[in-house]
Amino acid sequence: MHDDLARDEAALQARLSGRSFVAIAGDMGYPNARAALAAYRRAVLRKPIPEQKTIRARERKRFEAMRKAVRGNTALTPAEVEQRMAHIERLSAALG
């Protein structure tokens, strides 16, 4: 159990340092990004409410920067923009 808590916390810290869930999964041996996301969410939920709010606000800023980068990338086709924006929205919703 302690190892699971420590691993979840490591996933959270990796995300807070800027790692993607795909990278976290690869680095930490999770089977996929969804499992890394689940570990991150468990770790966030163990934090005090004020810290959870801070973490979520940080994620919202990160997603807004991602949206802006996608919208501003003139090398992408409209279909690629739509696909990437949909992915950002799904991930944003998953994180609350």
pLDDT of residue 1: 62
pTM score: 0.86
Domain that holds residue 12: 1-46
**1 shares its domain with 24:** yes
Of the candidates 53, 51, 28, the one whose C-alpha atom is nearest the C-alpha of residue 38 is 28
**64 shares its domain with 96:** yes
Q: What are phi and psi of 14, to 5 degrees?
A: -65, -40
> What's the domain count of the chain?
2
**69 shares its domain with 39:** no
Contacts of 20 (CB under 8 A, 6+ apart): 33
**71 shares its domain with 93:** yes
**58 shares its domain with 95:** yes
CA distance 82 to 10: 32
**11 shares its domain with 24:** yes
CA distance 87 to 10: 24
- Provide the 3-class DSSP secondary structure of residue 8: helix
Per-residue model confidence as pLDDT tens digits over 35-91: 999 999 999 999 999 999 999 999 999 999 999 999 999 999 999 999 999 999 999
The one-letter code for the residue type at 30 is Y
- pLDDT tier at 96, thresholds 50, 70, 90: confident
